[in-house]
Amino acid sequence: MTRALIIEADGGSRGNPGTAGSGAVVIDEATGEVIREICRFVGIATNNVAEYIALVAGLEAAYDIDSNADITVRMDSKLVIEQMAGRWKIKHPDMLQLGKQVQDLVRGKTVTWQWIPREQNFRADALANKAMDELADSESSGVTVTPGAKNRLASAVTEFNEIAPSSVRSPVDVTQPLTTIVLVRHGRTALTEARKISGGDGDDPDLSEVGRLDAAAVANALGQIGSQGSWQRIAPISAIVTSPMHRAKQTAQIIADRFGLSVNENENLREISFGTWDGLTHEEAENTDAEIWNAWRGSWSVSPPKGESLEVFDARLQEARRQIVERHAGKTVVVVAHVMPIRGFLRWAFDAAAAAYWRPQVAPCSISIIRVWGDETAEVVTVNHTAHL
């Protein structure tokens, strides 16, 4: 039986022409396994040149894996797909040579040309951006697995719906676009390390030295989104939003530098106000206001002296969520915030009661991911991921 392989390819140019990179993945059609990832640093070129170079790299890799394979090429470049399918003529001189190279590779082979929307080509897009970020070529092969493991992999892949909620039990037929929110808590500060309360209206400390290391580690981990590992089928990150507090902004900037993105602030992501308890240890706050402390624990409506109740805080936090989803609809956005805002996003995603504000653990520079469709429904992908730390 002839093996069937899928190639997803993409190229990009920061300037068009400008710094350009190409990315391609080769996928086993039967299992859904990504068996080869290719990054090519192109130099100074246009988008179209980079796209053709990505296609050549993908075809060469696929035929290296199996020279007799049936190939399906998927690209979001209408130009390349239509030209290679023979429906459009190649006119630009830069394209003529590359087009001939592709035609030589596929001569006598079985190849299907398929245009796909950009959001479905996120793996190749991420690899092209990796090539541009690192100004270098790279290549990796998938892990060889046993037939039984392939069956398990294929089963797992089918349970992740890239557009709609993954569970067949979801009662909602969504009409809003999928927005993926990647929640990152800021790195450690001197108050974090001293286990002192650090709210939205008290001291606004900077990241500590270890906090900056936290932030660098989480920035690298986020590079797997849309590229590799368990998050490779999530669309690549395209925006970063942060709380206005120093520790969050500094963490967000370290992440932004990794991806070449700007940072937007949202005032409603500020940490909950602990009022007069800010800067105290838990023991000190309890000893200072024992009666209020005991009433506050587990309460939706009781607030610390001069601080915020969960009820008041949740109202502004959900407004932040709506603002972010409206502005970044259909995208993957990193939200850098604090323990309580992250718990607030999770509370909404789980459609949970007040207890969601104290049950999830949210470590410094942990990653939690939710997928949302406007206000219609949500799906929780991961909570408090810390393997990178």
For residue 24, give the 3-state DSSP assignment: strand
What tokens appear for 382 in the block?
Answer: 């991961």
Query: Distance between CA 323 and CA 317 in Å, rounded?
Result: 10
252-256: long-range contacts at Cβ-Cβ below 8 A with a sequence spacing of 24 or more? 252/334, 252/336, 254/212, 254/215, 254/216, 254/219, 255/184, 255/215, 255/218, 255/219, 255/222, 255/334, 255/336
Residue 35 contacts residue 27 (beta carbons within 8 Å)? yes
Catalytic residue among 37, 186, 308, 385: 186
Secondary structure of 67-129 in HEC code, one letter for each residue = CCCEEEEEECCHHHHHHHCCCCCCCCHHHHHHHHHHHHHHCCCCEEEEECCHHHHHHHHHHHH
Q: Amino acid identity, residue 280?
A: L
Q: Amino acid identity, residue 259?
A: F
What tokens appear for 109 in the block?
Answer: 């082979």
Catalytic residue among 33, 271, 308, 379: 271
**Residue 271 bears catalytic tag:** yes
**Residue 328 bears catalytic tag:** no
Question: What residues are labeled active site?
Answer: 186, 271
